[in-house]
Amino acid sequence: MSSEQKPVSGTADTTDPADTAGPRPRRLTYAAALSALEALALVVGGAWMLVLGVTGEGGDRQQAVTGGITVLVLALLPLLAARGLLLRRGWSRGPAVITQIMALPVAYSLLKSGGAAVPAGIALTAVAVASLVLLVHPATTQALGIRGPGRAQESDQR
């Protein structure tokens, strides 16, 4: 059985930490909440862009509508990651980490733009860095049942 497959209920190998009935670590819950917050922010931003495009207030109408729809679709990534983190799905850490890495250049551009965007850049930077710290913490990794390099082979040899 590969490390990607989950054992069927009732089989002998039930040592997957993600399948334990213990409480979800707070770090995992916080990471899921931050990811959901980012999804909400993307939905609001995408809807705002879409409204500006439809009403014709944003300059180039087609670009605003396309950008709004794109941002709304991109909101699915952190939303799915948040749901997966809450349900302790090992696959969910990857999309959550990717979302945070993608948020850092956006935060940088907000910080460099000046004006009212600076506080948004500071907030986005804080959320992205905090999320990354929470997602790579050993307690989160263990709760999601993610094994480090070489550990999958060790457990298969036992």
Q: Report the Cα 16 to chain-centroid distance in Å.
A: 22
| 49 or 156, which is more confident | 49
Number of H helices, E strands in the chain: 7, 0
Q: Give the HSE-up count for residue 10: Cα atoms under 13 Å, Cβ half-sphere.
A: 0
Average pLDDT of the residues of the chain: 84
The per-residue pLDDT for range 137-149, each reduced to its tens digit, is 998 999 999 887 7
* CA gyration radius, the chain: 19
Q: State whether residue 120 is helix, strand or coil.
A: helix
8 Å CB contact between 3 and 152: yes
Q: Give the HSE-up count for residue 129: Cα atoms under 13 Å, Cβ half-sphere.
A: 8
The per-residue pLDDT for range 40-92, each reduced to its tens digit, is 999 999 999 999 888 887 678 889 899 999 999 999 999 999 999 999 999 99
Q: Is the pLDDT of residue 127 over 60?
A: yes
> What percentage of the chain carries pLDDT values higher than 90?
61
Residue partners of 75: CB distance under 8 A and separation at least 6:
39, 40, 42, 43, 46
Q: What is the pLDDT of residue 18?
A: 45
Q: What is the pLDDT of residue 57?
A: 75
The per-residue pLDDT for range 100-121, each reduced to its tens digit, is 999 999 999 999 998 989 999 9
Q: Give the HSE-up count for residue 4: Cα atoms under 13 Å, Cβ half-sphere.
A: 1
Q: pTM here?
A: 0.77
pLDDT bucket at 155, cuts 50 / 70 / 90: low
Tokens of 44: 């609001």
